[in-house]
Amino acid sequence: MSQAGEPLFPTFVVGSLPRPVWVRELIERRKRGEVSAAAAARVLDDAIPAAIRMQEAAGLDYVSDGEWRRESYVKVFADAVAGFEPDLIAGGRGAAYPAVTQPLRQERAIALDEARFVQRSTTRRTLTAVPSPYTIARRMWSPEHSIAAYATREDFMEACIPIINGELQRLTSLGVDAIQLDDPWLALLVDPDYRARMEIEDVDHEIEMAVQGVNGAVEGVDHPLISVHLCHAHANRQHSTRGPYDLIVRALGRMNVHRFAMEFATPDAGGIEVLAQFPEDKLLGLGAIDHTDINVETPETVVERAEAAMRYVPAERLTLNPDCGFAPSSINPMDLDEAYLKLRALCDGADLLKSRHGGDAA
């Protein structure tokens, strides 16, 4: 099931990379209106090729723009779609999120310009991520602010689905090599403490919402490699939840996508044994690098983690990636050099795996 012309153990970035302080400050100044969007874009056009060169130097098969233009992986939806008011929903560790307050109206493409820029800037295969309808609905609908626009979270998610679907259609027409739907809020459901905090009583209903959101987003999209990314969410090296994927793993087989990029390097994700239930017709994007751990893995550690997964998922259905993006929010203080060393270990580990299990080293 490997992609045509691709060796075993292809390596992916999940999307975001740590931003230098000056880039983080530029994003905040843009948000406050101190720098125009056009002026910020001109500066980022000069900066982002360095993030791409870094991924190439590490050896990645699939690269992104590091999501350096974004304030966050999910706010990018609200940046392109009218109907939100900023900073109404409190998040963890000082973050705040928009809330939907009016009917949605798309004003521009969500990630198309980002994807086009990356294509112009690299000869590697490219990955572009957009948030899933379920994660958007969990993050940016609230009973305090949103009921006048959408009476229920489910109504809001239904309104998001055609917008995400249209974006996936455009990314497919552009020729993006891998499309990723970020759906961390599905993975958060595995933690009973999280469910209690969020007052989630019917977890099966929530899982079904996530399945419907993904399947609605990809309906009619003829693309060869669509992934869903699952993680426990993180900021400043700390996860928001913890627990194994047993509660949700069977639902993955009902999602009409090709690949799941999942956290497994962190102990917070539980053991690898859950892969005994992993759907047999899907690729596994194995999280083999723990982005929250300051210690840089060795290539041998990557091999060890991959070979543990191969007890359940054969090599031809295994791809490699970090557990998550290194900085899904621009305010996340991570080190770019550390990320490079971790990505290089990932790619060196992939080469060792190719030498052991077949497939040409890059």
Confidence class of residue 269 from pLDDT cuts 50, 70 and 90? confident
Rounded Cα gap, residues 76 and 130, in angstroms: 8
CA distance linking residue 12 with residue 128, whole number of Å: 11
Provide the pairing of β-strand 226-230 with 178-182: parallel
pLDDT at 1 over 50: no
Please report, for residues 24, 223, 310, 330, 337, the alpha-carbon distance to residue 282 in angstroms, rounded to integers and kept in the order given. 36, 15, 14, 31, 33
Share of the chain above pLDDT 70, in %: 96
Q: What is the pLDDT of residue 143?
A: 96
Compare 100 and 334 and report the one with higher pLDDT: 100
Q: What's the pLDDT at 331?
A: 73
Mean pLDDT of 170-181: 98
Quote the pLDDT of residue 54. 98
Q: If you average pLDDT over residues 258-263, what whole number do you get?
A: 98
Percent of the chain with pLDDT over 90: 87
Instruction: Give me the pLDDT at residue 17, please.
Output: 96
> What is the reported pLDDT for 93?
66
Give CA–CA dist 337/325, Å, rounded: 15
Q: Tokens 């973050």, residue? A: 95
- On the question of pLDDT at 235 being above 90, the answer is no
Q: How confident is the model at residue 48 (pLDDT cuts 50, 70, 90)?
A: very high
Q: Are 228 and 261 within 8 A, CB to CB?
A: yes
- Residue 74's pLDDT band, with cuts at 50, 70 and 90, is very high
Domain 21-357 has CATH 3.40.640.10: no
Q: What is the mean pLDDT of residues 101-121?
A: 98
Tokens standing for residue 201: 């009583």
What average pLDDT does the segment 28-54 reach?
Answer: 97
**How many residues make up the chain in this entry?**
362
pTM: 0.95
Span 278-289, average pLDDT: 98
Decide the pairing of beta strands 96-106 and 81-90.
antiparallel
CA–CA distance from 54 to each of 18, 86, 281 (Å)? Answer: 12, 33, 33
Residue type, 359: G
DSSP 117-161: HHHHH-SSEEEEEEE-HHHHHHHH--TTTSTTT-SSHHHHHHHHH
Q: Which two tokens stand for residue 279?
A: 């759907």
pLDDT tops 80 at residue 131: yes
The yes-or-no verdict on residue 333 having pLDDT over 90 is no
Phi-psi region of 198 (alpha: psi -120 to 50; beta: other; left: phi over 0): alpha
Provide mean pLDDT across the span 15-37. Answer: 95
Measure the CA dihedral 343/230/141/79, to 10°.
Answer: 30
Q: How much is the average pLDDT of 122-134? A: 98
The answer, yes or no, to whether residue 297 has pLDDT greater than 50, is: yes
Which of 47, 113, 40 has the alpha carbon at shortest distance from 76?
113
pLDDT of residue 4: 52
Condensed to tens digits (0 to 9), the pLDDT of residues 8-22 reads 999 999 999 999 999
| Backbone phi, psi, residue 281, to 5° | -105, 15
Nearest to 167 by CA among 81, 83, 100, 253: 81
- Residue found under tokens 């993680």: 231
What does the alpha-carbon distance between residue 183 and residue 74 come to, in Å, rounded to a whole number? Answer: 10
Locus of tokens 């626009």:
149
Question: How does the average pLDDT of the chain come out, rounded?
Answer: 94
Domain borders along the chain are 21-357
Average pLDDT over residues 57-77: 97
Tell me how far apart the alpha carbons of residues 183 and 163 are, in angstroms, rounded to a whole number.
16
Band (3; pLDDT cuts 50, 70, 90):
low
Residue 360: the pLDDT is: 56
362 pLDDT above the threshold of 70: no
The rounded distance, in Å, linking the Cα atoms of 217 and 185 is 16
Residue 330 has pLDDT above 90, yes or no: no
pLDDT band at 6 (very low <50, low <70, confident <90, very high): confident
